Structure 1
Amino acid sequence: GEALLSLSIDGLNHALGIELHGQATSAGWSINGRVAALSLGAQADAALVLVEVEKQPRLLLLDLSAAEIQKVPAVLTHGESVADLHIHGLTVEAGALLPAEAVAWLELRSVAALAALQLGVSEEQIRRTVAYVSERRQFERSIGSFQAVQMSMADTHIAVEALRTALWQLVYRIDAGLPAPSEALATAWLACEAGHRIGHVAQHVHGGIGVDLTYPIHRFLYWSRGLCLAFGGSAANLERLGDWLNDNDKLGWKYDLEEHQAL
């Protein structure tokens, strides 16, 4: 409980790809490059980060106190402390590099955890917005009774339930030890879409008060944007899902199970 470990696998979806590179040496691995916006990078003692080794992604355990690591601290829009890591001439022992299969193992669980967080953020955002439109009055009636507001809020409920369904499907498959690469990508895409759609509807129906920084609803929008960045964005996940579908003929989640298992 005394050491803080951070994590960054953003390179899997980042437009620039993985910017950290490893080269085998007699002493282990020579590491050079950059890790962008590592969560709590200035405060953490160590971090698991992606490094490209022999043209494939691997997870690397970094001791962030190493002199070869330069930290550039910053704060994201939603208030999270991050730091860019610039690494030059760092040598790590061979055991610091995790097995290749660790990347896929961690990505599935990272998507599930982030999507669960997005689900909670969006649910609370909807709850607060429903309470607001039920109390706010215009033309001698609550604005929640207006058809346009009701339809917009209905859309947010559809979005959050779609995310919930995909998330529980992903969690089930992880728990059952089943492969879930496409399920993870679909869940990440739905989380980005839900965060965006629900966030903007909530801001819209709040009117001017939604952009008042003394009122808390904007924090949920910023939080959702931060989570979407952590996922890599809607477009990147949709592109990876399209590539997967192009290479696989299993078009539904149950087609790699016996029929009785899928029910």
Structure 2
Amino acid sequence: MDFSFTEEQSDLAGLARTLLTDWTTNNTPDGTGFDRPLWAALTRAGLIEAALPAPIGGGFGLAEQCTVLVEIGRAVAPAPYLTSVAVAACAIATFGDDEQRQRWVAPVASGTATLAVALATEDNRFRAEPAATGWRVSGIHSAVPMGAFADAYLIETTTPQGTLLLVLDRDTPGLRVTAQHVVDSTDAALLELDGVAVGTANTLGAPGNGAAEWAHRRATIATCAYQLGVVERALELTSEYALTRKQFDKPIGSFQAVRQRLADAHIDVEAVRLTLWQAAWREAQGLPADAEVATAKFWAAEAGHRVAHTMVHVHASIGIFLEYQVHRYFLAAKRSEFLFGAATEQLRVLADALSSAPSS
């Protein structure tokens, strides 16, 4: 079995790293969570269109999307690729019709629109009741990632017939969008719906068609890919600092305690890497992947927590200076730890998946 990247995946990763390295060198994030010139540059480079399903996009799949997300994580770049491309646009392309693809996916491919994703959690849910021309939707989601500036929203709702994915434009009558400040930016949004009428043109198939479960898996895998880039670069920055920072005329990296922390962090990063690619491969091949996705997100959450704290501890006081880049990686790792399910929630999912698996 060959675990090496394909030529296309390597080319995408290399192009993304070059572009994002140039952006990082010349820009400082402004806290909005969205840099429009950067998004335009990603579009011109073909990194957005290439990852979308044909015929609107280049037809690349989940693995290629993950290679780009790793690079976005390494730069902690304010680009809504995770929600707009890897989840929302691909969900619409997969479960929607031609009119819906032209309405919502084509603008993402051209770089003129972004999408946000409001998937159900224990505390944030939408419910839909049948109406004469579609559905009446009510509910609240308190922190939709990338929702403050999104042009449309992919929303999971619960209906009497099962879960259903809807797509709502930002200007949908009755939809209230309020920007929220989260740990690392002001990109999240509070979404509120109270009996909003939604027609069949805004629904992705029929209730219970598996679209919501598909979106959950893709969102989780995409978050793991982003987190891999974050912790990978965090470990690099910490190792470089340990080699150059001296105490008692010796690099602190020569001290046993520091070496042990860095070694543990290296193991954690590799665990995130291996479990991510296992989950992504199985999902891309259409194989059962619930257990693998939960395992990958457990490591992305648990290992991300440990690597982030190791980074700050080794850097000491400089690790929390806002003028220094380390704090951006700490905040990104902590946010990704909880996004689309923290470690404990993933263990519950894993337990359910293992208990329902047929015995050999």
**Would you say same fold, with TM above 0.5?**
yes
- CA distance in structure 2 between the aligned counterparts of 1:228 and 1:97, rounded to whole angstroms: 30
Q: Deviations over 1:61-93 (max 9, x none)?
A: 112212201122112111141110111121111
**Cα displacement string for residues 202-245 of structure 1 (whole angstroms, at most 9, x for unaligned residues):** 11111111122111111101001111221221111111211222
SS of the residue aligned with 1:66? coil
What per-residue deviation string (whole Å, max 9, x for no partner) do you get for residues 114-138 of structure 1?
1111101101000000000100000
Query: Secondary structure, in 3 states, of the residue corresponding to 1:78?
Result: coil
**1 or 2, which has the higher strand percentage?**
1
- The aligned counterpart of 1:222 is 331
Question: Is residue 286 of structure 2 the alignment partner of residue 177 of structure 1?
Answer: yes
Inter-CA distance 92–119: structure 2 relative to 1 (3 Å threshold): same
Match of 1:98 among 204, 211, 234: 204
Matched residue type, 1:15: E
**How far is the alpha carbon of 1:109 from its aligned partner?**
2.0
Q: 1:4 aligns with which of 97, 114, 117?
A: 114
Question: What is the alpha-carbon distance in structure 2 between the residues aligned to residue 243 and residue 173 of structure 1?
Answer: 18
Aligned residues between the structures? 247
Q: Distance in 2 between matches of 1:238 and 1:53?
A: 27
- Name which of 182, 190, 214 aligns with 1:84: 190
Aligned to 1:21: 127
Counterpart in 1 of 2:258? 149
* RMSD between superposed Cα atoms in Å: 1.6
The percent identity for this pair of structures is: 33
TM-score with structure 1 length normalisation?
A: 0.89
| TM-score normalised by structure 2 residue count | 0.66
Match of 2:114, as an amino acid? L
1:235-254 residue pairs with structure 2 within 5 A?
A: 235-249=344-358
Corresponding residue for 2:156? 50
* Residue 304 (structure 2) pairs with residue 190 (structure 1): no
Does structure 1 residue 140 correspond to structure 2 residue 140?
no
Task: Give 1:142 shift.
Answer: 0.6
Partner of 1:165: 274
Deviation sequence 1:152-173 (CA, Å, 0-9, x none): 0000010111111111111211
Check conservation: 1:173, 1:180, Cα contact below 8 A.
Answer: yes
Gap runs ≥5 in structure 2:
1-109
Q: Indicate the SS of the match to 1:231.
A: coil
Letter in 2 for 1:65: D
Between 1:78-87 and 1:21-30, the stretch displaced more is 78-87
Q: Which has the higher contact order (CA 8 A, sep 6+)?
A: 1
List runs of 5+ in structure 1 lacking aligned partners.
256-263
Q: Is it true that 1:200 corresponds to 2:309 in the alignment?
A: yes
Given that residues 219 and 340 in structure 2 are in contact (C-alpha distance below 8 angstroms), is that contact kept between their aligned partners in structure 1? no
1: CA distance, partners of 2:133 / 2:256: 68
Amino acid at match of 2:122: A
**Which secondary structure state, in structure 1, belongs to the residue aligned with residue 303 of structure 2?**
helix
